[in-house]
Structure 1
Amino acid sequence: MKNIFLVAGLFLSQIISAQYNYPVTPEKAVVDDYFGTKITDNYRWMEDLKSTKVQSWFKAQSDYSHNIINKIPHREDLFNRMKEVQKMNGDSFEAIQQRQNTYFYTKTKKEENLSKLYSRDLSTGKETLLFDPETIGENTQITNFTVDSKGKKIAILLSKSGGEICNLRILDLTEKTLMKNEIGPIWSEFGFEFTQDDKGIIYTKMSTADPDSNMLLKDMKAMLHVIGTDTKTDKILASREEYTELNALTEQFPMIYFTDDYKYIVLRLGSVKSENPIFIAPYSELKNKKINWKQIIKPSDDITDLFISGDKLFFLTHKDAPNYKITLTSLSKPDLNNAKVVVPESKDAVIISIHTSKNYMYYSLGNGITRDKYQVNLNNLATKKIDLPTGVNTSMPLNSRENDNIYCNNVNWLTPLTTYDYNPEKGTAIKSKYLNSETTFPDYNKLYTVKEIEVKSHDGVMVPLSIMYPKSIKMDGSTPAYITGYGGYGISYEPRFSTRLSVLMEQGVVIAVAHVRGGGEKGEGWHKAGMKATKPNTWKDFIACSEYLVNQKYTSSSKLIGNGVSMGGVLIGRAITERPDLFAVAIAEVGMTNALRSETTANGPNQIPEVGTLQNEEDTKHLLEMDAQSKVSKGVKYPAVIIRTGMNDSRVVPWEPGKFAATLQKNSASGKPVLLYVNYENGHFTSDKDVVFKEYADIYAFALWQVGHPDYQPIENTKK
């Protein structure tokens, strides 16, 4: 009788009417002429997020989506399993720093949602809770922190509900109090640092804290705050208006830091590009009314990272080296054209990152999937390959000013993070005594297989594809599969364990990651092969990898789930508008799906180096090609789609996913649902695990329903 009931449920979910009764979405056509190409935008009115009508529309969409999702059984089971797996991982440690004989770190206990700030006395082993962010407000989160040289004060960057507009507070450990002054607003990704005497803080200040203002990410200023004084008296160290000689653009971010010996201040005019103008000034200039900045790097130098050790100026550059090289010149007499090559370019691997401790530089050489790590003695430039446990692919200094202590993380697709202490003098790595916790995690390596292959794309280029699948899989196309990709800014999608994806894999789903062009897996050439004019390679690579999964019978089109996040919105949006038949479900998360209008947002000008500008006819052609919303056609059978947005998102503003959802709801002829999943407790992302797991339990339940997983079929009409 149970089987009959299940079949009846499946039948009901298939025969209900072809049209979902979505909330009414008004159309107010606006026609734009893009150098002769006319595009009609019926939903321009949504871009006024302060409008009560717009807010009401989002609320109606949210209620409608949750009404449908709430009818899908076993969502709570997914949520609870994510929580359970998280607890199996044990406590997680982040942002580890060392001052003298004390560790400082944020830790999320296995039974908690948010991280708190702790210290650990290395002589006694005693751990102390220093700061719980929710003591000053619900949903308050620690975004970052730094400790002064004596370990007496901590500057803590705080955010609310996944938002990225933060404020800095100073925790006085001697007085055990949080100082009253709020320093900011500060964007979540920007660094800050104590001065040499620990009496001041340097930081980058945003021009407004209004998330709806187009000035949100423009005309920022590098500032000096003297602790204990009114922030209104903070000194401007660099800005477009006060320092016109810098020739800074309104969308560039003036980010500053000190060299390890405090001899210099370094200024980087940052942007979405890695190649930025860089300036230096003697540390003593902090006392002057105005800093006398000297430019040492131009964007055309193709330098993406640097560090200074005494008079040595080290560069990571792709100048005449698409896979990067590390070079060295004198800081006092820089000569970039004749810089000494410390680490030459590799033909087969990419120099991915560089870090430094007091006496060593560390770099990774890899292909975006696997890495080898090396150390370079900063005094004699002797290079040595580091013998680390299999899977170790990240390393960070604990305090580059004081010591050579390094911690390394072992990360791969199937195993949670393990941290090791590395000694560069001895060349030894031992499991960290204090930066790990006991785990009770199942051995996924016994249950699943990881395959790293390359797939031929539309133009013959071989694209890396990572596949994780059950050892018991039947290669007959009957297994659901989930494929994701990114493809932007030269960022590599590297192996890392994901609690939520591991739970999806436990549902019998194949997990795949397409390392598409636009990322950095194969160096700067790989990045440039997926931006502006070449951006179509990003979604065509994704399509090729998806086709491979179908052709090799890992799955079938009726079982395939495609996913893209943020810049990955271009990837998934254009994949389903170009090949709607290839996917059963599309999950577009906080995604750029209306590239033609992104430039009008606060974060838009920052994206110009990556995607182009509407002020340029050639770039406009590329943006027209990237824009998923305008590629949606009436009467096409699109897959089921769930589109996630966070109402606190300042990177990809909510109207962009909202307009894409409305366009698909109007035009899709497949009869499959198109849902806008609106979260009022989230932004572009959040560190609150309950919020994250609730979102993904809902989204994955939706996807599993649509690919026919028997445990997730509603028995109640979802189209009411």
Structure 2
Amino acid sequence: MKYIFLSTGLLLSQLALGQYNYPKTPEKPATDDFFGTKITDNYQWLEDLKSPEVKTWFKAESDYSHSIIDKIPNRDLLYKRMKQVQEMGGDSYSYARQRGNLYFYMKTKKNEKLSKLYTRDISTGKETLIFDPETYKKDAQITFFSIDSRADKVALLLSKSGGEICELKILDLKTKKILDDTLTPLWSEFNFEFTPDGKSIIYTKMSTGDPNSSMLLKEMKAMMHQIGTSSDKDVELASREGNPELNMLTEQFPMIEFSDDYQYILLNIGSTKAESPQFYAPYAALKDKKITWKPIVKASDDITQTFIKGDQLFFLSHKNAPNYKIGVTSLSNPDFDHAKIIVPEGNAVITSIHNSKNYLFYALNNGISQEKYQIDLKTLAIKKVPLLEGINNSGALNPRENDNIQCYNSNWLTPGTFYEYNPENGKAVKSKNFNGETSYPDYSALYVVKEVEVKSHDGAMVPLSIIYPKNMKMDGNTPAYITGYGGYGISSTPRFSNRLSVLLEQGVVLAIAHVRGGGEKGENWHKDGMKAKKPNTWKDFIACSEYLIDQKYTSSSRLIGNGVSMGGVLIGRAITERPDLYAVAIAEVGMTNVLRSQNSANGANQIPEVGNLKEPGDTKHLIEMDAQSKVKKGVKYPAVIVRTGMNDSRITPWEPAKFAAVLQNSTASGKPVLLYVNYENGHFTSDLDVVFKEYSDIFAFALWQVGHPKFQPANK
């Protein structure tokens, strides 16, 4: 597929749209003093999302952005192609859960927009739809589900339009009716599960469901609800106020779960840090007026996951082992310094552990592929799980009752495939139940995947994945899309994307920069992109972008940079430090104003990763990573599209909005800066119609700005 990109055509198409007359955004200076460093913010007034003036401004920005985007041709072709690629992939499935002779799972049919909950009879193969969120409530989406041990009831966590403030409802599987019980508000990622008798549910309750409240995601409580009673009678199991001995911070969240044998109640004090303090109590303590929690794990133990079997406490830790190690110690008297190490640290990174009834599984990642291994919990013998090369993940179907697991294999150009595996027979078999009938083209015959390492500003070698059309001419005239993240130790592992495959089909090079702050090279790689070392994140991204240009994959006039969420720091600082390097920047629900984001409900949760504004040393580094305050008037910034979801409680909509506002009032390039406001979305959404519409608009904008001939507005 060949395209000719003419700069004169690009210029004409921009002139055809005329001057960008953005909605007026008044500058109302407010100055903050950060330990002697004074920074003026002209847009703090936009933080009042309840203000009629602010609401009017958001609507005007949204309408204006669509007035520009609507002139770009072939957006509908991108949307239709995304739908076609979805259909080519067949029905898509979540990981399943097993109860007796039934599988429970979510499925999105190839021609539908939302996941629904199904069961499948293991003996007969009969599939039954048991819950359709579209028939329950407008804009409802299933976020997660939990089944009781007898398969009599399912607890459903339901969100609205991609929001993460959810309600929990209970479906009686015998009567097929939703019970009157309503538990709310719950956050989308917190654990909930039934007691073994199925009569109660443990969960974490938020203090408020008001997304604009400063108390959102603060002062949460671990609760137990007896089914059939009012939630006002729910029993508190753990909280900061009720359990001062736990030393919980107001922004930390207590999460309860049961050990697989139901001998113990486990309490994790969660945050954005993976190293959570953990406590336990005997199951019988649920009847106590106040539970006495015994500590197992301290945050300083650098333990990220645990699993209990009898009196054995298995753990995954990076203590003196940045690539992680797996060990076992006594639950009743844990001693991590003298624990038995089952899997010592090696060159590859141990990324996760999970268990079945008699085995522990772990993932070993070398940055390009991820293998699965099993540990026999009785003998501690280790064996590799026989799966195809690629990224292999897995989950247990019912770890309390059997050793059956689902494995999932993926690559950049290979759509994901489920495999079924039991460690007793040692055979991984492609699942007949959880793979849709696919009709994808052979992407490996059309595109090349190249894994390289790029020297960054300080000599560190940064992994860069590049996917490009075969026989592409390396002359710098091809558009390229580069994305990165760099936070919380999260790795950008190879996986197939329906959306990005459509970009590939437009002749665009795709690149994924595995920058510091992620976990691709272990915990040290993560730490080298935190707090004082956060500049490594965007400097790595800049180095990878320069590599694409130097090697003639693309040129600065064809380069599209992307960052999402914490990746807002990455893309925001990349274009403020090197505005000349990118033709387009896509900042999606991004953290672009860290100096103010700690005033948001989710702000305190980010302190372990980025630093604390109340600490002078941290503040110096937070100032450096704040993209909004680095925008200067008269600088020629690239074309920018800033996406926000009005139901977003992670990155409050005012943060991306302020970034768009300062760029609109400052850029001298003549290139557009648009705020893409989605009123049907939060930080993300599972509604594929919303997703595909959003990305067809955003990609069309980017392709217009890099001169793609199919996306140039008519010259009138």
TM-score, normalised by the number of residues in structure 1:
0.98
Residue 12 (structure 1) aligned with residue 12 (structure 2):
yes
Query: Does residue 349 of structure 1 match 2:336?
Result: no
Q: Name 2:329's counterpart in structure 1.
A: 329
Equivalent residue for 2:619? 620
Alignment partners' CA distance in 2, 1:170 and 1:701? 42
- What is the deviation of 1:407? 0.5
Rounded Cα–Cα distance in structure 2 between residues aligned with 1:325 and 1:414:
31
Query: Could you tell me how far apart the structure 2 residues matched to 1:336 and 1:554 are?
Result: 49
Match of 1:114 in 2: 114
Counterpart-to-counterpart distance in 2, 1:36 and 1:392: 48
> C-alpha distance in 2, partners of 1:266/1:15?
63
Alpha carbons 1:18, 1:672 under 8 Å: kept: no
Residue of structure 1 in register with 2:670 after alignment: 671
Deviation at 1:17, TM superposition (A): 8.4
Q: Hey, what does 1:516 align to over in structure 2?
A: 515
Equivalents in 1 of 2:695, 2:607: separation in Å?
31
Instruction: Evaluate the alpha carbon distance shift between residue 17 and residue 90 of structure 1 in structure 2; reply closer, same or farther with a 3 A threshold.
Output: closer
Paired AA for residue 680 in structure 2: E
> Which residue matches 2:58?
58
Query: How far apart in 1 are the matches of 2:264 and 2:425?
Result: 31
Quick one: structure 1 residues 17 and 644, their matched pair in 2 at CA, closer, same or farther if it must change by over 3 Å? closer
Q: 1:511 is matched by which residue type in structure 2?
A: L
**1:288 Cα deviation (Å)?**
1.1
Unaligned runs of 5+ in 1: none
Q: Measure the CA separation in 2 of the matches of 1:201 and 1:281.
A: 17
Contact between 2:185 and 2:208, CA under 8 Å: does it hold in 1?
Answer: yes
Aligned-partner SS, 1:667: coil
* Structure 1 position 18, deviation (Å): 7.8
2:185 is aligned to 185
Distance 1:10 1:35, change over 3 A: closer
User: Letter of the aligned partner of 2:619 in structure 1?
Assistant: T
Distance in 2 (alpha carbons) for counterparts of 1:373 and 1:336? 25
Q: How many residues were matched structurally?
A: 713
1:472: Cα distance to partner? 2.2
What residue number does 1:286 align with?
Answer: 286
* Per-residue deviation, 1:95: 3.6
Residue of structure 1 in register with 2:164 after alignment: 164
Task: Tell me the secondary structure at the aligned position of residue 436 of structure 1.
Answer: coil
Given that 2:469 and 2:509 are in contact with CA atoms closer than 8 Å, whether structure 1 keeps it comes out as yes
Contact 2:281 2:291 in 1 (8 A): yes
Q: In 1, are the aligned partners of 2:214 and 2:600 still within 8 Å (CA)? A: yes
Partner of 2:256: 256
* Kept after mapping to 2: 8 A contact 1:203/1:222: yes
The offset of 1:96, in angstroms, is 1.0
Distance 2:424 2:10 in 1: 63
After superposition, the C-alpha distances for 1:168-219 in whole angstroms (9 at most, x for unaligned) are 1000011110111111210001110110111110000000010100101000
Q: Which runs of 5+ in 2 are unaligned?
A: none
Cα gap change, 1:466 to 1:11, in 2 (>3 Å): closer
Asked whether the 8 Å contact 1:102–1:122 carries over to 2, the reply is yes
Contact 2:9 2:707 in 1 (8 A): no
Q: What do residues 639-658 of structure 1 show as CA deviations (whole Å, max 9, x unaligned)?
A: 00000000000000011001
Contact 2:7–2:707 under 8 Å retained in 1? no
Q: CA contact under 8 A between 2:369 and 2:389: conserved in structure 1?
A: no
Aligned ranges 1:114-153 → 2 under 5 Å: 114-153=114-153
Are the structure 2 counterparts of residues 599 and 8 from structure 1 closer, same or farther at C-alpha, using a change threshold of 3 Å?
closer
Residues of 1 paired with 2:673 and 2:594: CA distance?
Answer: 20
Sort the Cα spacing of 1:233 and 1:640 in 2 relative to 1 into closer, same or farther, 3 A: same
Residue 34 of structure 1 is matched in structure 2 by 34
Using the alignment, how far apart are the partners of 2:280 and 2:14 within structure 1? 65
Structure 2 residue aligned with 1:205: 205
Question: Which stretch shows the higher mean deviation, 91-100 or 480-489?
Answer: 91-100
Q: CA separation in 2, counterparts of 1:141 and 1:716?
A: 42
SS at match of 2:96: strand
How far apart, CA to CA, are the structure 2 residues paired with 1:451 and 1:191? 39
After TM superposition, the runs of 4+ consecutive aligned structure 1 residues lying more than 3 A away are 6-11, 14-19
Partner of residue 215, structure 1: 215
For the structure 1 residues 635 and 259, does the alpha-carbon distance in structure 2 shift closer, same or farther, using more than 3 Å as the test?
Answer: same
Q: CA deviation at 1:423?
A: 1.6
Number of the residue aligned with 2:460: 461
Q: Could you tell me how far 1:390 is from its partner in structure 2?
A: 2.2
| Amino acid aligned to 2:687 | D
1:417 partnered with 2:416: yes
CA contact (8 A) 2:369 2:391 kept: no
Residue identity opposite 2:236 in structure 1:
I
The verdict on how the C-alpha distance between 1:19 and 1:35 changes in structure 2, with shifts beyond 3 A counting, is farther
Distance 1:586 1:8, change over 3 A: closer
- Equivalents in 2 of 1:393, 1:513: separation in Å? 19
Where 1:269 maps in the other structure, the secondary structure is strand
Give the letter aligned to residue 626 of structure 1: M
Native 8 Å contact 1:593 1:657 kept in 2: yes
CA distance in 2, matches of 1:182, 1:506: 46
Measure, in 2, the Cα distance between the counterparts of 1:10 and 1:394: 44
Superposition pairs of residues 248-647 of structure 1, within 5 angstroms: 248-346=248-346, 348-647=347-646
C-alpha RMSD of the superposition: 1.4
Q: Deviations over 1:238-289 (max 9, x none)?
A: 0011111111110001001000000000000000011111100000001111
SS in 2 for 1:581: coil
8 Å contact from structure 2 (residues 10, 705) kept in 1 = no
Letter in 2 for 1:552: Q
**Structure 2 CA distance for aligned equivalents of residues 242 and 410 of structure 1:** 45
In the TM superposition, residue 14 of structure 1 has moved relative to its aligned partner by 4.1
Rounded to whole Å, the distance in 2 between the matches of 1:421 and 1:675 is 46
When residues 247 and 8 of structure 1 are mapped into structure 2, their CA distance, relative to the original with a 3 A threshold, is closer
Are the aligned partners of 2:411 and 2:496 in contact in 1 as well (CA < 8 Å)? yes
Check conservation: 2:359, 2:374, Cα contact below 8 A: yes
Q: Does structure 2 retain, via aligned residues, the 8 Å contact 1:12–1:715?
A: no
Q: Contact conserved, 2:95 with 2:395, CA < 8 A, in 1?
A: no
Q: Do the aligned partners of 1:71 and 1:716 also contact (CA within 8 Å) in 2?
A: no
Instruction: Please state whether the residue corresponding to 1:124 is helix, strand or coil.
Output: coil
CA distance in 1, matches of 2:219, 2:11: 58
Letter in 1 for 2:519: G
Equivalent-residue separation in structure 2 for 1:369 and 1:500 (angstroms): 21
1:7 to 1:307, Cα distance in 2 relative to 1, 3 A: closer
Instruction: Rate the CA distance shift 1:146–1:8 in 2: closer, same or farther, 3 A.
Output: same
State the AA in 1 paired with 2:72: I
Aligned match of 1:155? 155
Deviation of the 1:623 alpha carbon? 0.4
What secondary structure does 1:181 align onto? coil
What SS does the corresponding residue of 2:665 show, helix, strand or coil?
A: helix
CA distance in 2, matches of 1:98, 1:672: 54
Q: Distance in 2 between matches of 1:369 and 1:221?
A: 40
TM-score norm. by structure 2 comes to 0.98
Partner SS state of residue 676, structure 1: strand
* CA distance in structure 1 between the aligned counterparts of 2:10 and 2:283, rounded to whole angstroms: 70
Judging changes above 3 Å, is the alpha-carbon distance between structure 1 residues 581 and 318 closer, same or farther for their aligned structure 2 residues?
A: same
Q: Which residue of 1 aligns with 2:239?
A: 239
Residue 274 of structure 1 aligns with an amino acid whose one-letter code is A
